[in-house]
Amino acid sequence: MKIARNETYFTYETEFGKVTIVSDGNAIISAKMGDAANPGVKCKASALTDKAVKQLEEFFAGERREFDLPLEPQGTDFQRAVWKALLEILYGETRSYKQIAHAIGNPGACRAVGMANNRNPIWIMIPCHRVIGSDGSLTGYGGGLDMKHRLLELERKNH
């Protein structure tokens, strides 16, 4: 990943654990679970990272269904198409990898969709947790299946 000159990150403690949010000064480029130091990047909260964590906390409290943040995930054109399709999945709903593949006009790309989903750099704000197996089963999630279940239950409860 190319580091922008004014890129900063900060790790926040939330109800769902630690989350590290990275901003390039204009947009959120990463939000990951855990305390993740970013070599070559200044550890400093910004108005944008503070706004992002505030919206995450509202989401966790069931008070927010959509994020109002500039997002600029870095990835291939294919990955960006998948991530854009994920943003179309409404709060409390799910889609299968196959449905996402169809949505981006590449019906044979279910596995590639899964890999793009796995590489999503902006946790929850680009809702990869809403993608499930065609049979309705919970499938891989970077934060673990327990976390995926917890997020889907939160949305189901507040939908």
* 3-class SS of residue 53: helix
Cα(158)–Cα(91) distance, rounded to whole angstroms?
Answer: 9
State the residue for tokens 């989401």: 59
Give Cβ neighbours of residue 156 (< 8 Å, ≥ 6 apart).
92
* 3-class SS of residue 122: strand
* C-alpha 36, offset from chain centre: 15
Best CA proximity match to 16, nearest among 59, 69, 65, 66: 59
What amino acid positions are annotated as catalytic residues? 128
Q: What letter would DSSP give residue 143? A: T
Give Cβ neighbours of residue 134 (< 8 Å, ≥ 6 apart).
96, 97, 98
